[in-house]
Amino acid sequence: KACKAFFEENDITHAKIEVKSDTGKAVTAFQSDDKQVTLYQANLFDTGLKAILQANPVHAIWDRASMVALHPKMLPEYVETLQSFGTKDFQWLLSLIEYPKEEMDGSPW
């Protein structure tokens, strides 16, 4: 839902596509008609996604939920994985929210 919503909220025409990696695994993506924006809908640690992004480095990453969703022990691997996907000078936007722990149960882990 989030990928499709991004394009709709920003009034960007797009298509849902399947991208195959060198390993043969397919990953669902949403791509603008002008091919300037591609959002992948996949598990970050999926080998198919890793192969696709390492073969086609990205210029920008927007992360809006990983710090809540990932177990703290997974964060070093997460950072290393994301860095391997980017071009030499890629930009990384990390959206965070601070809240009183007693008001919210926290992440699923």
The pLDDT of 19-37, averaged and rounded, is 90
pLDDT score at 23: 79
pLDDT score at 106: 61
DSSP string computed for 20-79: E-TTS-EEEEEEETTSS-EEEES-TT-HHHHHHHHHS-EEEEEESSHHHHS-GGGHHHHH
pLDDT score at 16: 96
pLDDT score at 72: 85
Q: Per-residue pLDDT tens for 51-98?
A: 888 888 999 988 877 877 888 899 899 999 888 888 989 999 988 877
CA nearest 12: which of 26, 31, 27? 31
Angle between helices 75-85 and 47-55 (to 10 degrees): 40
CA 79 – CA 94 distance, rounded (Å): 11
Provide the whole-model pTM.
0.76
Residues listed for the chain: 109
pLDDT score at 108: 57
Question: Which tokens go with 53?
Answer: 């992004």
CA 16 – CA 80 distance, rounded (Å): 28
pLDDT score at 82: 87
pLDDT > 80? residue 105: no
Mean pLDDT, the chain, integer? 87
pLDDT > 80? residue 50: yes
